[in-house]
Amino acid sequence: MLLDPQKDAAFTAQMEAAFNEVFLNAHLSKLDRESAEGRLAVENAVFRRYNQATQYAVPWVNRTTPLAGSQIVEIGCGSGSSTVAFARLAGHVVGYDIDAAHVEGARLRAQMLGLSNVTYHAVTPDQLLSQICHRHGENSVDIVLLYAVLEHCTSAECLETIQASWKLLRPGGHLVVIETPNRLTYMDVHTTFLPFFHLLPGPIALRYYHRTQRQRIIKTLDEAIRISEQAAELERIRLGTGISFHDFQIALDIEDLGAVLAADGYEPEMQVWFPITLEERLLQTFFLARDLRIPVGFARFVLNLIFRKPDGATVPVEPLIPFASRTPFLTNYSDICVKVPVQREQRLQEFDRLEKIELTVTQDNANLLVGAHQVDITSADDHIRLHAHGNDPYLYLPSLGASLQRSVLKIDIEAPSHSVLQVFYMLCDQSDYAEEQSVRTSIYRGHNTLLIELPPGVTGRLRIDPGEVAGEYHLYQIELRSAIG
């Protein structure tokens, strides 16, 4: 069951009011709650993270290991968004967190949603893992859930958490890692939205963070650095950095992680939630060109991984996920050098062959675009000027009316910086509320011609986020074409 912010407005308002008193006011003290960043933080806490877990994470895990009757331990449960989502299918979920206020909020959330198969514990940081292991014992748990947790740990804490989780699992049990940023990516997509920030040494990062547009990050690190550089460095880690395959090789003492990796983030649910980006394909290319024995799931910009604990003492020799099943998602070195330009030309020709023009927007009819957030729209001589005055600009196209079958959106745009453009859409068969789905594509400084294929059944208004950086975008044309019949 998803929470619809329109249909369930009274209930979500009730939840927000209850959470304010318990944890939300303190959690958001460094934010203007009426700002875009503040409002999104409130929505995440109240319903968005719960909806995402329900719509994507729970079905993804259930595909690999049936949740019915399962005993789950969640380490770092926070205010319980993911805990209650899993509790709807699981036998029992026990959540642990070091923040007592968030745990109280988690108890309140479960109560308001009418769930009784959830138990929560607030534990001090120095006692967290030892108490969990003491309470449950080794080889006893079906699933250990680490949902957006490991990126907030120090290196030592990360290794200890993975090791403790592995010991808790019964043979054949599953360690589930969800929504954890990959340390090996180009952009810090979690904390600052700055290129390579998560890879910077602490002293450099603490002199660079003011370049982010996220006010909560700046205020938090400003306060910490007034105490000491050591305090600021710990706070930087707590805000979130990233992990990589190295952590798992060390913690599990397994060199070939493919032997225990049962799901790698290329499953349908995760591809909808986190569409493959060009940056991922570049990292895939490096993995393949160097013939690294690293599962390609570790090339995803956000890591969503399920590890299966072997039934016996011996680690299997063969990978749980055959490499051949992942080749449709890969671009190898020769593709980057030779095939991609050819494929691009072929895609342009295919676009031109689509018979029906559903929509065309140029500077002559710029009034068709509706600037919804952090963007001003004006016409120029040969383009539409989009002035983004924040890192979350978006606008809407006119309503499509009838649902479309195969359709492709072509966008000619000049961007001020490297970033990610997203197109959000709804499908006609979604009778109940669902979070907007999106297609992501990389966008680069200068001129871009983007071809974005949309799934069958798209209807309503398309939302376009031109990029995740402020500045001036020049939009030359948007054209939507579809196949007839």
Mean pLDDT of 112-138: 96
Residue 57 has pLDDT above 90, yes or no: yes
Could you tell me if 189 and 253 lie in one domain? yes
Residue 458 has pLDDT above 90, yes or no: no
Mean pLDDT of 67-78: 98
Model confidence over 435-446: pLDDT tens digits? 678 888 878 778
Mean pLDDT of 384-409: 86
Could you tell me if 154 and 282 lie in one domain? yes
334: CB partners within 8 A, 6+ apart: none
Tell me which of 329, 345, 371 is where a domain ends. Answer: 329
Could you tell me if 235 and 363 lie in one domain? no
Mean pLDDT of 343-360: 83
Tell me which of 329, 345, 376 is where a domain ends. Answer: 329
Strands of 309-445, DSSP E: 356-361, 370-373, 375-379, 384-388, 394-396, 407-415, 419-427, 437-443
323 lies in a domain?
A: yes
Tell me which of 262, 295, 329 is where a domain ends. Answer: 329
Structure confidence at residue 469 as a pLDDT band (50, 70, 90): confident
Residue 275 confidence (pLDDT): 86
Could you tell me if 316 and 200 lie in one domain? yes
4 lies in a domain?
A: no
Residue 345 has pLDDT above 80, yes or no: no
Percent of the chain at pLDDT > 70 equals 95
User: Packing angle between helix 36-43 and helix 215-227, nearest 10 degrees?
Assistant: 90
**DSSP secondary structure string, 199-218?**
GS-HHHHTTTGGGSS-HHHH
222 and 138 in contact (C-beta within 8 Å)? no
376 and 387 in contact (C-beta within 8 Å)? yes
Amino acid identity of residue 73, one-letter, is: V
Percent of the chain at pLDDT > 90 equals 64
Is 355 buried (19+), middle (13-18) or exposed (0-12) by CB count in 10 A? exposed
340 lies in a domain?
A: no
Model confidence over 205-225: pLDDT tens digits? 999 999 998 888 999 999 999
338 lies in a domain?
A: no
Structure confidence at residue 334 as a pLDDT band (50, 70, 90): very low
Structure confidence at residue 166 as a pLDDT band (50, 70, 90): very high
Could you tell me if 267 and 132 lie in one domain? yes
Amino acid identity of residue 53, one-letter, is: A
Mean pLDDT of 55-63: 96
On average, the pLDDT of the chain sits at 90
247 lies in a domain?
A: yes
Residue 407 has pLDDT above 90, yes or no: no
Structure confidence at residue 456 as a pLDDT band (50, 70, 90): confident
Instruction: Residue 240: give the domain boundaries.
Output: 9-329
* Residues pairing with 308 in the sheet: 174
Residue 341 has pLDDT above 90, yes or no: no
Model confidence over 21-54: pLDDT tens digits? 999 998 888 778 888 778 888 999 999 999 999 9
- Looking at the whole model, is its pTM more than 0.85? no
Could you tell me if 122 and 264 lie in one domain? yes
Could you tell me if 316 and 381 lie in one domain? no
Could you tell me if 318 and 373 lie in one domain? no
Model confidence over 240-267: pLDDT tens digits? 999 999 999 999 999 999 999 999 999 9
Alpha-carbon distances, residue 414 vs 75, 315, 370, 444, 462 (angstroms) = 44, 51, 19, 8, 20
Model confidence over 260-305: pLDDT tens digits? 999 999 999 999 899 888 788 889 888 887 888 899 999 999 999 9
Based on the structure, what is the number of domains in the chain? 2
Residue 336 confidence (pLDDT): 46
Mean pLDDT of 370-375: 88
Residue 333 has pLDDT above 50, yes or no: no
Residue 84 confidence (pLDDT): 98
Strands of 12-154, DSSP E: 71-75, 92-97, 118-122, 141-147
pLDDT: is 477 or 356 the higher one?
Answer: 477
Could you tell me if 48 and 145 lie in one domain? yes
- Would the CA dihedral through 114, 117, 123, 126 be positive or negative? negative
Backbone angles phi, psi at 195, to 5 degrees: -65, 130
